[in-house]
């Protein structure tokens, strides 16, 4: 049974969402503060973490950053905040996805399943030797590695899946909607999720992220990976 950690300070939402997730077949642990959530995740790691942004004490952004420093567990923000700044800030802090309240539990469960499928696929790839090379950038899908000028680059699972999707289609422009579907499993969704993850990747694989050489934008169309 997939374990989900829910960090939500509103008692009614926390209880109802935890019960709804259990009805969907998840094992849900629910806590009211970021501090409790971080401690619970360190004590007994969940497969996925759901985080509200408006929490007492430590806010959701710092909670995400601390969780991300510990490991690459999939993190989904569940928040009433729908402003672009809030969404981008949460994704830049390290969240993998963003769901706006009120939550449709069926949709949330579908997103969680998609995240877990992709996380398992990444974790269980056999160690082989295929290397996708783009100048000094190397992507090793089966080994789960990214190297820049020979040095190992630390990326999250979602960043790795996004880079692999682009690397497996060298020079081909993939639209934001295509990447949402292939990487996140969303038929429809907020394309800002893609943009923020691309920005985070550029900071890690580009010498000058503001003037990218490998992961480039094709205006009006999408993104492509090139040598």
pLDDT in tens, 162-191: 999 999 999 999 999 999 999 988 776 788
Q: Is 6 helix (H, G, I), strand (E, B) or coil?
A: strand
Q: What pLDDT is recorded for position 224?
A: 97
Residue 126's alpha-carbon distances to 54, 120, 121, 153, 156, in angstroms, are 41, 12, 10, 20, 18
What is the Cα–Cα distance from 26 to 4, expressed in whole angstroms? 7
pLDDT band, very low/low/confident/very high, at 124 (cuts 50, 70, 90): low
Among candidate residues 18, 26, 183, the one with its CA nearest the CA of residue 115: 183
pLDDT band, very low/low/confident/very high, at 121 (cuts 50, 70, 90): low
Q: What pLDDT is recorded for position 80?
A: 94
pLDDT at 122 over 80: no
Among candidate residues 94, 88, 84, 115, the one with its CA nearest the CA of residue 180: 115
pLDDT in tens, 10-62: 999 999 999 999 999 999 999 999 999 999 999 999 999 999 999 999 999 99
What is the Cα–Cα distance from 168 to 94, expressed in whole angstroms? 24
Please work out, in degrees rounded to the nearest 5, the angle formed at the alpha carbon of residue 9 by the alpha carbons of 8 and 15: 65
pLDDT at 107 over 90: no
DSSP codes of every residue in 90-120: HHHHT-SEEEESSP-HHHHHHHHHHHHHHHH
What is the Cα–Cα distance from 173 to 165, expressed in whole angstroms? 11
Task: Sketch out the chain's domains with CATH numbers.
Answer: 2-116 (3.40.50.2300), 132-225 (1.10.10.10)
Name the DSSP class of 174: B
Do the beta carbons of residue 121 and residue 138 sit within 8 Å? no
């Amino acid at each position: 049974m997939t374990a989900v950690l829910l960090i939500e300070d509103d008692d009614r939402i926390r209880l109802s969402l935890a019960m709804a997730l259990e009805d969907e077949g998840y094992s849900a642990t629910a806590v009211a503060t970021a501090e409790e959530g971080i401690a619970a995740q360190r004590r007994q790691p969940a497969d996925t973490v759901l985080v509200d942004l408006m929490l007492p004490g430590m806010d959701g952004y710092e909670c995400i950053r601390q969780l991300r420093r510990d490991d690459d567990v999939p993190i989904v923000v569940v928040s009433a905040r729908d402003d672009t700044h809030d969404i981008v800030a949460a994704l830049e802090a390290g969240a993998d996805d963003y769901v706006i309240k009120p939550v449709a539990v069926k949709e949330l469960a579908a997103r969680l399943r998609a995240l877990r499928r992709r996380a398992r696929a990444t974790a269980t790839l056999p160690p082989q030797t295929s290397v996708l090379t783009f100048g000094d950038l190397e992507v090793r899908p089966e080994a789960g590695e990214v190297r820049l000028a020979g040095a190992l680059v630390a990326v999250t699972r979602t960043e790795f899946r996004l880079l692999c999707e682009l690397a497996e289609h060298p020079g081909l422009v993939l639209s934001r909607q295509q990447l949402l579907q292939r990487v996140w499993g969303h038929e429809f969704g907020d394309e800002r999720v893609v943009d923020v993850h691309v920005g985070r990747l550029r900071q890690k694989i580009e010498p000058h992220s503001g003037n990218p050489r490998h992961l480039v934008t094709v205006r009006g169309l999408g993104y492509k990976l090139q040598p």
